[in-house]
Structure 1
Amino acid sequence: MTPIPLGESRHSSSPNSSSSTLMSVSEIREKTASKTVSVADNDALVAGDDGQDHFNPPVPITTLDEGARGMRTVFPPVPLGGSMIPVDVEDEETGSPAGDGDVKLGGTDVEAGPSSPASEMDIFDRFTPRKKKIIVGIVSFCAFIAPICSSIFLPSIPQIAEQLHSSSSTIAYTVAIFIVVLGISPLIWSPLSGFYGRRFVYLISLPILVAASFGVARSQSVGVLIGTRVLQAIGGSCVLAVGAGSIGDIYKPTERGSAMGWYYSGALMGPTFAPVLGGLFSEYTRDTWRSAQYFIGAAGATAFLLVAFILPETAHPPLPHDRMKAAKGKRFVFYRFNPFTSLGLFRWMNVCAMSLSSAAVLLAIYTVLVPMSTLFKDRYHISNLAILGCLYLPSGLGNLLGARIAGPMADRTVKKYIKKRGYRRVEDRLRSAVPWGMFLLPASLITYGWLVHFGAGGIAAPLAVSVLPSMALMGVLTPQNTYLIDSMPTRSAEVIAVNNFLRYMFSAGASAWVLPMASRIGWGWTMTVSGFIVLASSGLVLATLKWGDQWRESANEKYHYEGTPADCRRPDGALSATEVIEKPGPGMPADKSTPLSNDSDHGEDEEVGHLPLSTNRRSQQVTATQRSVPRGTVSDIQMPPMHEVLSRTVSLSGASAHGGG
């Protein structure tokens, strides 16, 4: 058994001794840095001066409980990656061991059951179903705000150009600039969320959005407008990447589809309803288009208050920032990183294929949404901006219907194939995307284009058909995004960030070229091209269905990624230990659990102890990564590498609980 640091050994002490030592927290930390013990069955394994291991019970330490009733007795804490974990706490009134309750991991509470050991799935049960719905609602509301910013200009472009003494084409390009920044910024927010936690980056990004929105409203020139719009995109982009990770943090893979459907319905309804809001504000308020920006600022402030007072931290403990704070003895540690490191995830063929597919699908939808106000204004001579905005309502209805159908449909598909196969294959979720992407979406795009081209059915026919592409969009994107999270659960925010990066690059391109292309070849052929792009992207889905698991396993082995979900491991040893992370079971030693990291740049002084953790005092063992840091060298502690921040794993009772990084 590998010993782990605990506290001072006192061979003459016993747990029933009436004497205890009054120590400050700083003294406890100094005392617990010298000896090594392993707690098991109320005994301590002490490394003696003779080089032999001796069993001796740990000594309770009485500390001042600031802000409480006086003094309390605790057993010496165990460091976990630089953070202190109370091994046991005695009840202040009865003096009996607090056998059940919460275990602190790096400053974050992990709820453990009173009788059964923690398992990998326990990490998803930290919140009640009602609390999970509240989290989804808040995150979806935040995700609704950022896309509003990108398309709320659409019905007001002529008005903005007139007030700022510019042209409509120049103002239209600000939409493309906004979308580009919206795609790049998550590459910064995602690693920060892995290091500091989801809630922290929400609280930083939303004030930027609020301030920038008021700046846009006060713009008096095109230059100021572009600058404030860039800041607005930076502040609003955070939830678009990190929000999906928040959903993945709290739901099991078999339950994740429905929640992701609601989340993406919020994110995708923004571009649909934003023109309605923009038209109403521009037509019926004194400040015209500027009122819409004040509305966005107010919505962002509301989101900030919801996050500050209601939203809990969802990232799986321990957070790297908590470990670094404890190791360096600081209240805050700055994290420096290369934001473009995340683009290395495109080396995974399945990630690249799904990102290209979802980008192609979103490109096709933008060819419908972006030119709609201009198209119908010219074709049907509609001058009222509020009416032009209302033309987007059928697409919003399609998003809602698609979200309600696609999520549960994907979850049912996963459960169906679990019963057939006996284990969960991540790629099975993509089966639910095939009928939407191969049939409904391309067919509806082509139909819409030719109805507009020939003017058949007046204004009603193309508006009625516009429900179908948005509905099919949700049918494709919901399982694809959930698949990306399922395939890389310990890098969920990062994989969504690179996915959004590619998506918004394609969407910005669609915003720029759809009108010139339609003016040259007509709406019928323009939408036919979009339909065939979507059809080709469905080939990537089929290829991932067939070879995705091979691509994943090959890349995981090549790039040393060990985040394979436990329930996706084939039973009966079908894969070797190098291809899959084995879950400890009957006959397998407890110390064969998943290591925290296989990073090649770990120093030789790093030790890894593999012991299950339980709140039962009779079997208290801890898995931890230890770095031997001599006193006086705290400043030399190295910041964790990017992949470690985004691939956080802590072993609980022999099972792996993945951080959502």
Structure 2
Amino acid sequence: MDIVDSQEPDVQVIPDEVYDKYTPRRKAVMVALLSYCAFLPSISSTSTLSATPEIAAEFHTTGPIINVSSALYILMMGLSPMVWGPLSQVFGRRIITLVTASVFLICSIATALAPEIVSFFVLRLLTALAGMALILAGSAVISDIYCPVQRGMATGWLLSGMLVGPAFGPFLSGVIVTFVSWRIIFWVQTGLAGTALIGVYFILPETIHHRKLDDLHGYSRKEKALSIMRMINPWRVLKLWRYPNVVFTGLASAAILWNMYGLLAPIRYVLNPRYGLETPLQSGLFYLAPGLGYLIGTLFGGRFADYTVKRYIKKRGVRVPEDRLRSAVPFMLVIAVCILIYGWTVEKAVGGIPLTVIVMFIQGVAQLFCFPSLNAYCLDVMPGRSGEVIAANFTMRYLFATISTAVVLPAIEAIGVGWFSTITFFLLLATTAGVVLTIHFGQRMREKIDVKETEKAKEADHV
């Protein structure tokens, strides 16, 4: 029996009636649960920012060293999709979510008890490794239960949890460390993780239409093992970057996350001295501005993405995946303008706290108009490979977030918050141009790569 070589799985055409398996209410409950699950690793990614001095003091180290743990956390979030994306295609969504939610819970408890800096670092990395699967599971399940023209709104609700987390985390930790030990942050995280695990166990069914593991029925143990190893090879995810449309949309997502973490990471070090703030709680309140923006954007961003798709279906008579991206372009420009205003008004001490809060809020709203389009495009563009495409996108965006978190403080100290924001401004402009290219030439980009792959397959068969 031949070993299954799933290096390039076929793109599946899934009829719309398949998406009627669950009632709208059941789907809404699943999305709410998955949004909550996505909230957990996201809040954990920034929960130490407001508590950095306190954690550093207890472990007899410095703030920049503790910030490295946050950067490594985000790096692990960037690398792990290459594993979890293929695994969810092979074994299904439910089992992967249950296992990783359990690991996230155990690591949260262990982090709260961490006796020294090395164990703290290791446990944070393991938390990120497991937590990223919870975010990917949400996107994969949405691709399983919603037809393409409905995915924008569902993705918007999912992303509300994912994006509110990084903004709410520092606020929560700021409140906690103002009154009690920083370790309470991770005990709170433990309680949230336990609730998520119970919810996944009782609410989330298996939603995948076809597990690749089922293709191996009748194989010997050795053949099955070799086939699974090929199926879950991380290189499968990275190979998707040969599609220019995947790269351009990935870079757009990455630029937005670069901006988000570059904005959130240094707040206590940048805004506290600018505005004479003294406590972690005071700086933590600044994180509520983008967080509230994310919540407001949730109500409208996904709907606008779906509206755009339906409008172009009426115009063309057929659905083109790239049309969804049109709703993201103007709001990427809004984010770019806002970060430029934020950087230079803070640098020059113009406008005070009100202007800073306003531009942070507007950025938050605009992000929730961009991400539903970018995420749903990943789910639409290659049916049957949605888990891997979204994994490729998340890998790219979190690698950029890692770099942003690691360099933002040294960069601001070297060139100032104004010039760092200017760099982010031009990065957003460049990646917006990539999205525009994808809108107009994305289908041609995909077809060109597919033709090359078909020719390679024919040559291989001929040999």
TM-score (structure 1 length as normaliser):
0.65
Amino acid at match of 1:515: L
User: Does the aligned pair in 1 maintain the 2:338–2:362 contact within 8 Å?
Assistant: yes
Tell me the alpha carbon deviations over residues 607-644 of structure 1, each in whole angstroms, 9 at most, x when there is no partner: xxxxxxxxxxxxxxxxxxxxxxxxxxxxxxxxxxxxxx
Q: CA deviation at 1:321?
A: 2.5
Tell me the alpha carbon deviations over residues 249-277 of structure 1, each in whole angstroms, 9 at most, x when there is no partner: 11111111000011111111110100111
1:153-232 matches, cutoff 5 A: 153-232=48-127
Given the alignment, which residue of 517, 523, 533 partners 2:427? 533
Matched, 1:470 2:364: yes
Partner residue in 1 for 2:415: 521
Question: Secondary structure at 2:351's aligned position in 1?
Answer: coil
Partner residue in 1 for 2:22: 127
Question: Secondary structure at 2:194's aligned position in 1?
Answer: helix
- C-alpha separation in 1, matches of 2:214 and 2:318: 35
User: Does the aligned pair in 2 maintain the 1:321–1:333 contact within 8 Å?
Assistant: no
Given the alignment, which residue of 128, 138, 152 partners 1:243? 138
Amino acid at match of 1:320: K
Distance 1:600 1:221, change over 3 A: farther
User: Does the aligned pair in 2 maintain the 1:146–1:237 contact within 8 Å?
Assistant: yes
Distance 1:179 1:528, change over 3 A: same
Q: CA deviation at 1:243?
A: 1.8
Partner residue in 2 for 1:411: 306
Point out the structure with the larger helix share. Answer: 2
Q: CA deviation at 1:327?
A: 5.3
Partner residue in 2 for 1:324: 216
Partner residue in 1 for 2:374: 480
Tell me the alpha carbon deviations over residues 109-162 of structure 1, each in whole angstroms, 9 at most, x when there is no partner: xxxxxxxxx981111111000000011011111000001111000000000000
Question: Secondary structure at 2:278's aligned position in 1?
Answer: coil
- C-alpha separation in 2, matches of 1:162 and 1:469: 33
Given the alignment, which residue of 380, 390, 393 partners 1:499? 393
1:380-391 matches, cutoff 5 A: 380-391=275-286
- C-alpha separation in 2, matches of 1:547 and 1:391: 40
C-alpha root-mean-square deviation of aligned residues, in Å? 2.2
1:291-310 matches, cutoff 5 A: 291-310=184-203
Task: Give the paired residue count.
Answer: 445
**Larger Rg, first or second structure (1 or 2):** 1
Amino acid at match of 2:435: V
Question: Secondary structure at 2:328's aligned position in 1?
Answer: helix
1:398-477 matches, cutoff 5 A: 398-438=293-333, 440-477=334-371
Amino acid at match of 1:367: G
Q: CA deviation at 1:601?
A: 8.9
Tell me the alpha carbon deviations over residues 402-460 of structure 1, each in whole angstroms, 9 at most, x when there is no partner: 2222211111111111111111111111111111113x111111111121112122222
Matched, 1:278 2:192: no
Matched, 1:556 2:447: no
Where in structure 2 are there 5+ consecutive unaligned residues?
A: 5-12
Matched, 1:290 2:183: yes
- C-alpha separation in 2, matches of 1:531 and 1:174: 27
Question: Secondary structure at 1:456's aligned position in 2?
Answer: coil
User: Does the aligned pair in 1 maintain the 2:14–2:383 contact within 8 Å?
Assistant: no
Amino acid at match of 2:213: H
User: Which stretch shifts more, 321-330 or 491-500?
Assistant: 321-330
User: Does the aligned pair in 2 maintain the 1:180–1:505 contact within 8 Å?
Assistant: yes
TM-score (structure 2 length as normaliser):
0.92
User: Does the aligned pair in 2 maintain the 1:186–1:240 contact within 8 Å?
Assistant: no
Where in structure 1 are there 5+ consecutive unaligned residues?
A: 1-80, 82-117, 561-577, 579-597, 603-661
Bigger RCO (CA 8 Å, 6+ sep): 2
Partner residue in 2 for 1:263: 158
Amino acid at match of 2:61: S
User: Does the aligned pair in 2 maintain the 1:518–1:526 contact within 8 Å?
Assistant: yes
1:569-588 matches, cutoff 5 A: none
Distance 1:465 1:223, change over 3 A: same
Percent same amino acid among aligned pairs? 36
